[in-house]
Amino acid sequence: MREFDLIEKYFNWKNLESDILGVGDDCALISIDAHQQIATSVDTLIEDVHFPKNTSPKDIAYKALAVNLSDLAAMGATPKYFTLALTLPEFNEYWLQEFSGSLKSLSSQYNIALVGGDTTKGKLSITINATGVVSQNTAMLRSGAQVGDYIFVSNTLGDAALAWHQLQQGKEPSKGLLQQFNRPQPQVELGKVLVDIANSCIDISDGLEQDLSHILNSSNVGARINISDLPLSDELITYIENSYDWCLPLSGGDDYELCFTVSQENIKKVEALEKTLNIRLTAIGIVTKELGLERLGMFKDECSSYQHF
């Protein structure tokens, strides 16, 4: 059984009050008063699954918090606090000092407070539950895409996947690729301004095709994307020129960029954001009435996205 079928069958109980948005989006939304909602998300990182064995404690801490901030960003929420459940194979003071220092530095950068957690002994695993707030009815949902919307992605795609690919082959990735893999920048500022501009949003953690498909399924629409429009770094362009393999930007995962849809009348606002936030925002396709994800371009291979099961 695939991961998402498992969640749907066993844990999407659909018994929530109508003022709670539960399983199925980047964060759950819980109303606290007439004006505000809590956005909350949890993610686990496990050694050898999410990061290689010799990853530095600084990078592990950074990524564990960054991936949660990325889910808050996808809803357009402002980060507030997080809890940390840590399973450690041993007590190692050096490791803890490095881990704690890096976690603290990222948390102060995004103004999110560590308020509790749990510590146990076992195989290295880090679980962070991050919580933010968002004004009532403004959060960007996966279910808001409209036919005719333009589909945008932030920055470039596939760099983290290329780093992982090279590591698997025993090669040393460039500094830039490793940065993308170990230290993805959560797009919190972008998410906060997109709430007034975008109809739907998701953060790309499992690869563009799979994550965009979550928007399409939730919104009951389809999409046409043009692979020649995908924003790529120079290193990824070189990789594709040599391998003809477009799967890294299409399904590689670990990008932690935002994929969002915008009505035609708001396109100018997105262009303005590129300047004010100094960020690359690229239109890669359009939302269609015909269901399914259609890919335009020469590359026809099926790419498999990462599935835990």
Positions touching Mg ion (CB under 5 A) are: 26, 71, 203
With CB under 5 to 8 Å by kind, the binding choice for 24 among Mg ion, ligand ADP, none is ligand ADP
Q: How far is the CB of 208 from Mg ion (least distance, A)?
A: 13
Side-chain-side CA neighbours of 267 within 13 Å: the count stands at 12
Which residue, 112 or 286, is less far from ligand ADP as judged by CB? 112
Q: How far is the CB of 5 from Mg ion (least distance, A)?
A: 18
Name the closest residue to ligand ADP (Cβ): 11
Beta bridge mates, 281: 154
Among 185, 205, 233, 251, binds ligand ADP (CB under 6 A): 205
In this chain, which stretch among 23-31, 108-116, 241-249, 277-285 interacts with ligand ADP, using CB under 6 A?
A: 23-31
With CB under 5 to 8 Å by kind, the binding choice for 255 among Mg ion, ligand ADP, none is none
Residue 11 found at the interface with ligand ADP (CB under 6 A): yes
Q: How far is the CB of 261 from ligand ADP (least distance, A)?
A: 17
Q: How far is the CB of 96 from Mg ion (least distance, A)?
A: 28
Long-range contacts of 28-34 (CB under 8 A, 24+ apart): 29/75, 29/134, 29/139, 31/136, 32/133, 34/136
Side-chain-side CA neighbours of 186 within 13 Å: the count stands at 27
Residue 117 found at the interface with ligand ADP (CB under 6 A): no
Among 1, 7, 237, 296, binds ligand ADP (CB under 6 A): 7
Q: How far is the CB of 68 from ligand ADP (least distance, A)?
A: 8
Q: How far is the CB of 109 from ligand ADP (least distance, A)?
A: 21
Which residue, 153 or 240, is less far from ligand ADP as judged by CB? 153
> Per CB under 6 A, which of residues 38..97 are in contact with ligand ADP?
43, 71
Which residue, 71 or 255, is less far from Mg ion as judged by CB? 71
Q: How far is the CB of 177 from ligand ADP (least distance, A)?
A: 22
With CB under 5 to 8 Å by kind, the binding choice for 25 among ligand ADP, Mg ion, none is ligand ADP
> Per CB under 6 A, which of residues 218..257 are in contact with ligand ADP?
none
- Which residues are near ligand ADP by CB under 6 A? 7, 11, 23-26, 43, 71, 205
